Amino acid sequence: MEIAERFAYHGVSANLISYLTGPLGESTAGAAAAINAWSGVATMLPLLMACVADAWLERYRTIVLASLLFVVVSSSFSALPILSPAPHARIVAF
């Protein structure tokens, strides 16, 4: 499961600046700030969740819940309309 999480993180982070500045039309400074915030939350959130898991959840229940959450969030990215480009946006391939 850890390797899938790493692939997802690095895959999103590599393409996020192009997506935010291209189809979504955000400024470069705004996109950089959003990416820094996203990276910080993605880095620090496991520490918070580890405390929650140790305090209230058992080991196997934590693994099952985290795996289900990962699958649901990963599969719902394409279903969110906010993540799809506007109909008039032009996508530029490099």
Contacts of 21 (CB under 8 A, 6+ apart): 27, 28, 31
Q: Is residue 17 part of a domain?
A: yes
Q: What is the pTM of this model?
A: 0.55
Q: How many domains does the chain have?
A: 1
Q: Is residue 89 part of a domain?
A: no
Q: Is residue 78 part of a domain?
A: yes
Q: Is residue 88 part of a domain?
A: no
Q: Is residue 93 part of a domain?
A: no
Q: Is residue 94 part of a domain?
A: no
Question: Which residues form the domain of 69?
Answer: 2-83
Helices (H), 1-94: 2-21, 28-56, 59-76
In this predicted model, what pLDDT tens digit does every residue of 53-79 receive, in sequence order?
888 888 788 888 888 988 887 777 666
